[in-house]
Structure 1
Amino acid sequence: MPAFGLIPGSWRVVGVVVLLAVLAGGSATLAWRFQDGRYGRQLAEQARAHAEMLNQLTLAAATRQQTEQDKRLALEQRLSASEHTHYRALSDAQRDQGRLRDRLATADVRLSVLLDAHDAASACAVPTAASTGSVDHGAVRARLDPAHAQRIIAITDAGDRALIALQACQAYIRALGR
């Protein structure tokens, strides 16, 4: 009696079926390996392309950052030069105002104002400066009290400083606008 109740000719059929199954499984395995290799190459190509794109983006970002740093440095240099120029103008104006105040205090210089000779209010008794050698050809002038002259000089000094500060602010805004 044959093993497992099979007929001797059926062993051949079973053998052929097993052989076909093994071959089918082998070809499926080969197909799977072929597809796996193709997918692996595609994934590798995608990874390489992705890495290349990231590298290009990194280089572009670094270039933009360097450009922005260069712009900032140029702006800082222009602002520093502008600040130096305006500081020098401010110190020159303050020095000139200080000299003028000193000359007023020592009576080296006196401030005077022109009076309108046709004005009815000019009939009051105001001491006038000598008109000889005057550029105004004898126009009536009144000398200012030294204390008032000092106050006027202080006001003009503050005005000069304000104008210089305004020019510095305008130059700063223009530099930022570039």
Structure 2
Amino acid sequence: MTAVQKLIGLLVLIVALIAGSAVASWRVQDWRFGKQLADQARLHTDDLTAISNAASAQQQADLDKRLALEQRLSASEQSHYKELSDAQNNQAGLGDRLATADLRLSVALDTTDSACGHSVPAGATTGGVVHGGARARLDPAHAQRIIGITAAGDQGLIALAACQDYVRGTQPALP
């Protein structure tokens, strides 16, 4: 072997060693980087799972709140409907009793009012168990109109109470 051949062999050996160490370094770096990427992917997956679980829990909490609100509003609506129905039944019964003359409406008279010029004697009372001052019976048609007016007023008050309960039920609680 000549010196040139030895030198070429030595250079080939050095190049092979350098290439081998480069390949080995490349493999080690690839392994480390792959591990880092796998760790990042696992952490990213864990973060996405945590976010998904939090969103699911929030959605369930909102659903529970909505269902509770719907139940409260339904109970309130049923209560007000029953109250309205009872008031309508009472008014209808009162109207029926007035129509059949089973019941008569009367008003108390002010016997001390001298401004109107019509004085009613204190002894002019209707028969019955009414205690107090003088009373006058109302015409059945007028009594029916008064009952209708009070029925409309009762319905309005019940509807107002229902609206107020609805607003109170849908408003968030104040701190």
Q: CA deviation at 1:97?
A: 0.1
Deviates more, 1:106-115 or 1:149-158: 106-115
Return 5+ residue gaps in structure 1 as ranges. 1-7
Separation of aligned partners in 2, 1:93 and 1:132: 27
What is the aligned partner in structure 1 of residue 49 from structure 2?
55
Equivalent position of 2:118 in the other structure: 123
Change beyond 3 A, Cα 1:111–1:172: same
| Maintained 8 Å contact 1:103/1:109 | yes
The answer to whether 1:65 aligns with 2:65 is no
Shift in Å at residue 38 of structure 1?
Answer: 0.4
Q: Which has the larger radius of gyration?
A: 1
**Residue 144 of structure 2 aligns with which residue?**
150
Could you say what secondary structure the match of 1:142 adopts? strand
Alignment of 1:135 with 2:135, yes or no, is no
2:164 corresponds to:
170
Q: Which runs of 5 or more structure 2 residues have no equivalent in the other structure? A: none
1:90 maps to 2:84: yes
Are residues 1:9 and 2:11 paired? no
Shift of residue 96, structure 1, vs aligned partner: 0.3
Aligned length: 168
Q: Cα–Cα, structure 1 residues 132 and 71, in superposed 2: closer, same or farther, change >3 Å?
A: closer
**What's the C-alpha RMSD, in Å, of the aligned pairs?**
2.0
- Alignment-mate amino acid for residue 118 of structure 1: T
* TM-score, structure 1 normalization: 0.85
Q: Mark the CA change 1:110 to 1:162 in structure 2 (over 3 Å): closer, same or farther.
A: same
- Pair 1:159 & 2:153 matched: yes
Q: Which residue of 2 aligns with 1:3?
A: none
1:46-105: CA deviation from partner (whole Å, max 9, x where unpaired): 101111111111111111111221222222222211111111111110000001111111
> Structure 1 residues 169 and 26 mapped into 2: Cα distance closer, same or farther (>3 Å)?
same
**Cα separation, 2, equivalents of 1:19 and 1:162:** 105
Aligned residue type for 1:121: C
